[in-house]
Amino acid sequence: MKHYPRMLTPNTPRFNPVELAKVTESIVCRNDSRKYTAFYVAGVYRGISTGYAVGCCLRCFFCWSGWSRDFPELYGRFYTPRDVFKRLCEAAKEYRIRKARISGCEPTLCRGHLLKLLELVESSEFNIFILETNGILFGADKSYVRDISKFTKVYVRVSLKAGNPRAFSHRTGALPDFFELPFKAIEYLIDYGVRFHVAAMTDPRIMPAGERVELLNRLRDIDPKLAKYLEEELCDPYDATIVRMSIFGIDPVKFYKYSLP
Ligand code: SF4
């Protein structure tokens, strides 16, 4: 990869997201450790202990993650799976919650790190680990989904970005051929009996109605229930989202049309 992709513009050269995952891993993974910037309890899921990790293999223009997504070299410290587990436990204990996740990144990067962390979660007091993924690496390697299926506490949330290859490439920066990978991930999750649901960025300001129909049909082809229970996402005005959107060539003032607090 000649230039490491950072913030997306419509003219950014399109990239292979599996290759970008590898290059990003060379920055954010070291042996079994991964870079994180913070540990805290987030209000979503009615309170969840969260490790905010560094690095992703897509470059969605609506992404809300911090600048560590674009400049992983500049952010975070390396934590072993045991360090991360300890931090997650400490945060959870303070708020008396039993849920955990990794956020702010693509959690499936640094496979060895994630699997070791899930082993620790499996024999702990946590009762669920919510694995929020863009589905690229699961779709690229079925054996990764097989490995995940061994953990009873994992619940996967696959977040789709588009309803056709052209829109996928436009919004994420990835080459259009890789559009299918998250759908493959869904098929593999079904094959291995992993608990999951599907979410998608169907905000009508981003995804035209016709494309939403394409997406729903694609999901129905796999299983009608996936479309029925689809979680539809809205694009919230996080600070990083506003800047990324602006760099992408969309005026956030016109996009949001209301004053932010
Ligand atoms: S929205 Fe998710 S998949 Fe897209 S760049 Fe941000 S962290 Fe990665």
What residue ranges do the domains of the chain occupy? 17-256
The pLDDT value given to residue 24:
98
- d(Cα 79, Cα 18) in Å, to the nearest integer? 23
Euclidean distance between CA atoms 68 and 162, whole angstroms = 23
Q: Are the CB atoms for 48 and 42 separated by under 8 Å?
A: yes
Pick 17-256's CATH classification: 3.40.50.1000, 3.40.50.1970, 3.40.720.10, 3.20.20.70: 3.20.20.70
Q: Give me the residue label for tokens 């669920």.
A: 128
Mean pLDDT estimate for the chain: 97
Q: At what angle do helices 81-95 and 111-122 cross, to 10 degrees?
A: 50
Any ligand 1 atom below 6 A from CB of 56: yes
What is the rounded CA–CA span in Å between residue 255 and residue 246? 10
| CA of 169 relative to ligand 1 center, distance in Å | 13
| Residue 259 reports pLDDT greater than 80 | no
Cβ of 58 closer than 6 Å to ligand 1, yes or no, is: yes
Closest CA to 106 of 174, 153, 41: 174
Evaluate if residue 258 carries a pLDDT over 80: no
Give the pLDDT band of residue 261 (cuts 50, 70, 90). Answer: low
Buried b (16+ CB within 10 A) or exposed e, 18-57: bebbebbbebbbeebbbbbbebebeeeeebbbbbbbbbbb
Instruction: Indicate whether 218 pLDDT > 80.
Output: yes
Is residue 182 scored above 70 in pLDDT? Answer: yes
The two tokens of residue 57 are 């293999």
Nearest alpha carbon to residue 24 among 131, 114, 104, 109? 109
Q: Is residue 2 very low, low, confident or very high in pLDDT (cuts 50, 70, 90)?
A: confident
Ligand 1: atom nearest CA of 56 is 8
For ligand 1, is residue 134 a contact (CB within 6 Å)?
yes
Atom 7 in ligand 1: which residue has the minimum CA distance? 105
pLDDT of residue 257: 83
